[in-house]
Amino acid sequence: MNHFVMIIFGASGDLTKRKLMPALFTLFSNKRLPEDFSVLGTARTKYSDAEFRDYALKQLRIFVKPEERNEERFRAFCIRLHYITLDPSREESYPRLRDKLESVTGETRPDNLLFYLATPPALYGVIPLHLKAVGLNTPGSRVIVEKPFGSDLASAKALGETYKSVFDEQRIFRIDHFLGKETAQNILAFRFANGIFEPVWNRNYIDYVEVTAVENMGIENRGGFYDAAGALRDMVQNHLIQLVALTAMEPPVLFDADNFRNEIVKVYHSLKPLDEEDLHNHIIRGQYTASGGEKGYREEKGVRPDSRTETFIAMKLFINNWRWSGVPFYIRTGKQMPTKVTEIVIHFKETPYRMFRGESGESYPRGNQLIIRIQPDEGIVLKIGMKVPGTGFKLKQMSMDFSYSQLGNLDIRDSYVRLIEDCIQGDPTLFTRNDAIEASWRFFDPVLNFWKTCPEAPLYGYPAGTWGPKESDILMKGRGAGWTNPCKNLTNNDLYCEL
């Protein structure tokens, strides 16, 4: 195998220091990188090789997990780092990049290359064309692209055509770090490897499904990007709909990249198109306001004072196929929520007859819930009705709780560690295919067009630190329930607060 080089565009940025370098260091420490490897950073920031190594060393000491820190290994890793200052938007910079790669590898035509675009999205369509212009799109090269892949259907199609003209589809890795998390992958194992769950994973036994991905922070100096994107583009069109697909997909014939990704695309194609009623009544968007010492969204740096960009969105959607017909999927995401959590909640139907009572005399039982926690405390909770000890026959809902943290020293890697290793090995299973990108945008495009053409479409304010606009509760009207809101402490036995 030729000398392997990972080229990071945006090497002086936040993603590189917080995620990419620590992930590469973890792979290096575990001897999971090719023996003959280098990392070439590039950005507009001026560094020599030695200065970039010093910079990287300082960041590793901060962002690598304490239990993995080792000064000797840090320095051994940093020796493999190189740097070139260039403007990635200018084609005339790329011959110098090619020359630098030849110098690093000692090869006249380096081929084992992995390009990582940790740059603003505006450069996603530019960099591949410049790489092609200097012949760096070699047969052995691959490219990793961060989200968002396009800002609507038209731009996603145009971007897809650009990449198609430079790289074969199997060499394009559109990364979604949610799919690198063990619990996201465990949804598939949980469903398809356990005979007691798959038979009830359908409209006959499931009442509705919630998918939540919220954060207890604002936009963190990303005002320029976020105000042009919003929650739908930043989270819903990629992360949340991926989790819906993992929950709803049919079992693949074989668990390989093509069959797995085929089933994901089938879910997207089965989404019930949004009609006029859906656009008005099944979508709630909000924007956080100042509260408890926290800024309001419009007071954030880089945000327009009259911005109507959503920082919260809740939606009700349906999947029109045999398994899920009539089962609503409720999805939501938001900034400045009370806690940070990503989870899927499966609400099973209640028993056909209620013969018991709860502790307070209410009719019982409620429907069982299966909670799959993606982050921060990765695990699974099954809520079941159990008799309260003592006289009488009253029931209480109890939790059977499994957490990955209970497995002690088992290696639960950061999602970027898993995904970068998959890219190096050329395994595209956990990466989004172009037809899935277009199918997702085709579903969400009407929402963006509705907001654009209907300025009177409501945008509700919600105080920072709350669970979003109260109007989002109306989505579950008729279900006799509200959103499942985790408590701030996700590690105690009373995991979920009543709404």
Q: What is the pLDDT of residue 358?
A: 60
* Domain 179-497 CATH assignment equals 3.40.50.700: no
Q: What is the pLDDT of residue 497?
A: 34
Q: What is the pLDDT of residue 496?
A: 38
Q: What is the pLDDT of residue 351?
A: 78
| pLDDT of 490 above 60 | no
* Residue 386 banded pLDDT, cuts 50, 70, 90: confident
Average pLDDT of the residues in 420-433:
91
Cβ neighbours of 153 (radius 10 Å): 20
Cis before 469 (ω within 30) = no
Strand 113-117 vs strand 81-85: parallel, antiparallel, or unpaired? unpaired
Tell me, which fold does domain 4-146 have in CATH? Rossmann fold (3.40.50)
pTM for this model (two decimals): 0.88
Picking from 87, 100, 173, 158, the residue whose alpha carbon sits closest to that of residue 127 is 87
Rounded Cα distance, 10 and 124, in Å: 12
Rounded Cα distance, 234 and 243, in Å: 14
Average pLDDT of the residues in 80-104:
96
Query: Helix 21-29 to helix 49-63 angle, to the nearest 10 degrees?
Result: 80
DSSP states of 189-214: HHHHS-TTTGGGSSTTTEEEEEEEEE
Among 50-54, 241-245, 362-366, 453-457, name the one with the lowest average pLDDT.
362-366
The CA–CA distances, whole Å, from 218 to 215, 226, 303, 334, 441 equal 8, 10, 12, 9, 25
Catalytic residues: 239
* Residue 499 banded pLDDT, cuts 50, 70, 90: very low
CB within 8 A of 311, min separation 6: which ones?
218, 219, 226, 230, 231, 286, 287, 288, 297, 334, 335, 336
Q: What residue ranges do the domains of the chain occupy? A: 4-146, 179-497
| pLDDT of 17 above 60 | yes
Q: What is the pLDDT of residue 74?
A: 95
Taken as a whole, the chain contains a residue count of 499
Q: What is the pLDDT of residue 185?
A: 78
CB within 8 A of 131, min separation 6: which ones?
94, 115, 137, 141, 143, 166
Rounded Cα distance, 92 and 122, in Å: 18
| pLDDT of 479 above 90 | no
| Of 398 and 266, the one with more pLDDT | 266
Q: What is the pLDDT of residue 361?
A: 58
Average pLDDT of the residues in 158-162:
96
Average pLDDT of the residues in 337-352:
90
Identify which of 74-83, 217-226, 390-399 has the greatest average pLDDT. Answer: 74-83
